[in-house]
Amino acid sequence: MKAIIVYYSQTGNTEKVAKEIAKTLDKKGADVKTVSIERSLKKSYDENVEDAKKEEKAKIEEAQTDLSDFDMLFIGTPVWCGKPATPVNAYMDQCGRLDGIKIVPFLTHGGGGPSVTFDKIKDELEPKGGNIVEELSLSSEEVDSKTGKEKIEKLISSVA
């Protein structure tokens, strides 16, 4: 199984989850590639809040990977104002067709929960042909915890 993990992380939480997912998939014998979405322009917290509310697409470095090479896409985002982070909005806009690819959105949040983040990801990726098979939500407190690790292991057991 070939899996790609694409994520945006501003303060490292979502990145830690992406790396733990990669490690767990690797142990299962999957072929894994991990890609961090890079912003071309950083913005202040207040600007990010305003942009996230309006579901704007941040300027990001162009996605280089052809997703048609993969069986599974893990897409990770922090929750910003109940929604995906703006660099992830940009990535979803430019990722191309996802026909036949199983998709697992994952997110981290500060305690407010996913709100509509998973719904927004579904609305963007299913019309491109992707098939959402599972999802994972971790609070920032869970990220480095035993509970977090167990949730990741459970997720990978159910999809890989």
Ligand X SMILES: Cc1cc2nc3c(=O)[nH]c(=O)nc-3n(C[C@H](O)[C@H](O)[C@H](O)COP(=O)(O)O)c2cc1C
Q: Which residues bind ligand X (CB under 6 A)?
A: 9-15, 45, 48-49, 52, 78-82, 108-112, 140
- Please, what is the minimum distance in Å from the beta carbon of residue 29 to ligand X? 27
Which tokens hold the place of 20? 């733990």
**Nearest Cα to 14, choosing from 94, 122, 88, 119?**
88
State which residue, 131 or 145, has the beta carbon closest to ligand X: 145
State which residue, 24 or 86, has the beta carbon closest to ligand X: 86
Question: Which amino acid does the sequence have at 48?
Answer: N
Own/partner contacts of 138-142, CB < 8 Å, gap of 24 or more, are: 138/13, 138/17, 138/106, 138/107, 138/108, 138/109, 139/108, 139/109, 139/110, 139/111, 139/113, 140/13, 140/108, 140/109, 140/110, 140/111, 141/111
- Please, what is the minimum distance in Å from the beta carbon of residue 45 to ligand X? 6
State which residue, 48 or 89, has the beta carbon closest to ligand X: 48
State which residue, 88 or 101, has the beta carbon closest to ligand X: 88
- Please, what is the minimum distance in Å from the beta carbon of residue 73 to ligand X? 18
State which residue, 11 or 158, has the beta carbon closest to ligand X: 11
- Please, what is the minimum distance in Å from the beta carbon of residue 66 to ligand X? 25
Measured distance CA(75)–CA(97) in Å, rounded: 15
- Please, what is the minimum distance in Å from the beta carbon of residue 33 to ligand X? 19
